[in-house]
Amino acid sequence: MRKFSVKRPPRLSRRRFAAASLLLGAGAAALPGLVLAQRDGPFGQVRALTFDVFGTVVDWRAAIAREGRLLAQGRDWNIDWHDFADRWRAGYSPAMNRVRNGELPWTKIDDLHRMILEELIVEFGLEELSGEERRHFNFAWHRLSPWPDAVAGLNRLKTRYVIATLSNGNIALLTNMAKHAGLPWDAILSAELAGRYKPDPEVYLKAVDLLGLTPEQVMMVAAHPGDLRAAAGQGLRTAYVPRPLERGPERPFTPDASGDFDLTAADFLDLARQLGA
């Protein structure tokens, strides 16, 4: 009877086995050489990009107006839902200031949004909304839609950088939004982790620390100049991606032309091109 020999595959060292397991488990996008290697150019030190979310990554105004129209189906309401969205968003900064000045204890954005919503319900005559309808409407902020370039741009940037949120939105909100909108974050970072709200310095420095980097290795990406200037004040690099239609096509704004930022991009795809991704 003829005998056949079976050639055994070469044995992997423990170190090589661990490395192979990591790559198989994490996928090609997590190759550490792509993320951590020193690169040439003016942004060669940058390892991670942190993103403002509301207005920069997602179109909150259109999404909230859409949710309002869905809520109004079958009801005799005559409401400008874009105006409602604007009013809801307008309560955002004053509510955070109440936390900053000690009038309120630390309060996450979901709860601040609900406080603002309850005031608007009275103002717009929506008292017939049930408790469950109010809860669902408040969670519309978890279901915001991305700008058309956002997902493709983030996926390109992810091939060369760690990409993470750095938003005043709470972690549950940002996580649900990522699942809903297909946002491919490597990490969900939030002002909630610092117990402060942007533009307080602690928020930017907490993100840098959690990423295990130094400020100059992190680039803050935002559509809002004030956010970027606050980040730059803590040593982060900055990328300005204006969203002229954030307040709607009837109220476009002129992008900041001060030249205060390390980089200005038309959208996330242009940002990826400029950063070599």
Given a contact cutoff of 8 angstroms between Cβ atoms, the answer to whether 268 and 157 are in contact is yes
Given a contact cutoff of 8 angstroms between Cβ atoms, the answer to whether 142 and 176 are in contact is yes
Residue 22 has pLDDT above 60, yes or no: no
CB atoms within 10 A of CB 90: 10
> For residue range 78-111, what is the model confidence (pLDDT) as tens digits?
999 999 999 999 999 999 999 999 999 999 999 9
> Where do the structural domains in the chain lie, given as residue ranges?
36-57+144-274, 61-142
Tell me the CATH class for 36-57+144-274: alpha beta
Rounded CA gap, 164 and 185, in Å?
A: 5
Residue 57 has pLDDT above 60, yes or no: yes
User: pLDDT value at position 263?
Assistant: 97
> For residue range 235-253, what is the model confidence (pLDDT) as tens digits?
999 999 999 999 998 888 8
For the chain, give the mean pLDDT: 89
Q: Could you tell me the pTM of the whole model?
A: 0.85
Query: In this structure, what is the dihedral angle of CA atoms 185, 186, 191, 193, given to the nearest 10 degrees?
Result: 140
At residue 136, φ and ψ (nearest 5 deg) are -65, -45
Total residue count of the chain as it appears in this document: 277
267: left (phi over 0), alpha (psi -120 to 50) or beta: beta
Tell me the CATH class for 61-142: mainly alpha
